[in-house]
Every structure is written in C-alpha cells, then in structure tokens.
Amino acid sequence: MPRGKAPNVADELEAPRSGAGKEAANRRGLAGQLNPVHLNIERWAYTFQRITGLAVLAYVVAHIGDTSFFVGGPFGEGPNSASWASDLSVTENFLGHAVLVMVVLVVVYHGINGARLILSEYGVILPKPSRPEYPYAAKSLKTIQRHLIWVAIVGAVLAALYSGGILFG
C-alpha cells in the first residue's frame, strides 16, 4: 500500500493472510467429521453409546407393545392360548433368536459403557488435571478409560456369545 493512502477494507479482505491455506485445510466440514478414520476409540464409544441407547429404547417400546397385545391389548380381552402362540411364533425362530442375541449385546455394552461414563463424569477414573502441552493428546485415554471401553466391548461380546449358545444350542 502506498504511503499516505488510507487503507481500503476491500484490499485487506482480498489480501492473502499468512497461514490462510493451512486454516482452510483444517476445516473438514460435516463429511470430514463423519469420516470414521478421524475418530479415536473414545469417540466411537460415545457414538455407540448413543446408538445403543436408541436401540434399547426401541426394544423396550416394542416389548411393551408385544406384552400389551398378549394380555389382550387395549380392549382387555385377557391372555389366551392363541395370542401366546402368536407371540412365540415371532420370537421362537432363527430371526427371533438373532434379535434377542443382539439385544443382549446392545444392553450389556450400553450398561458397562454407561457405568464408565458415570465414573468419568464424577471424576473417579480421570487423571489429575495438568497443564495442556502440545500436541494436546487426550490424557483421559491414557488411563483406565481405554481399558474400560475394551471391557465393555469384550463383556458385550461374551454375553452375546453366551446367550447365543443358550438360544441356538
């Protein structure tokens, strides 16, 4: 800019800033945030906690509906052998057993991971706060948190295998 000339706002907006390309490269947008490569195990645990919560809610609603139809539904006809046979025809087959195994997997994972989140929320399993130092690695993942995430995963898989052995065996 020549000496003595007043600065023009348009010139400042068009002028390249130092590091502008780097700043633009760091903006991944929605597609970048949804890219699973950029997620660590704690983020995956958070995502699956939400998904399994919705799955448990859907199962509870379906179970209440199924049970209400067995006992006669909104008209109060009461349970009978035909409604019981109809109920068993839905659950006592390969698909019904597979759904029940998935329910066990989801409920056990959600329960164990929920206990981890409660302990974390109250600071029981978090490390003591310290001064943040570059490269800003999450210190919460270097402690018992990572192990408890794996306990939730392994516990859920073992429970699902056990229930599958009972239902399919």
Give the tens place of pLDDT for each residue, 110-143: 999 999 999 988 888 877 777 877 777 666 666 7
Q: Is 138 helix (H, G, I), strand (E, B) or coil?
A: coil
Q: What is the pLDDT of residues 61-118, one digit of tens each?
A: 988 887 777 666 666 666 777 777 777 887 889 999 999 999 999 999 999 999 999 9
Q: Does position 25 have pLDDT exceeding 80, yes or no?
A: no
> In 40-143, where does DSSP find H-type helix?
41-70, 81-91, 94-121
Buried b (16+ CB within 10 A) or exposed e, 33-63: eeeeeeeeebeebeebbeebeebbeebeeee
* Residue 162: count of CB within 10 angstroms of its CB: 13
Rounded to the nearest 10 degrees, what angle do helices 81-91 and 41-70 cross at? 160
- Whether the Cβ atoms of residue 106 and residue 5 lie closer than 8 Å to each other: no
CA distance 65 to 67: 5
Angle, vertex CA 96, rays to CA 95 and CA 98, nearest 5? 65
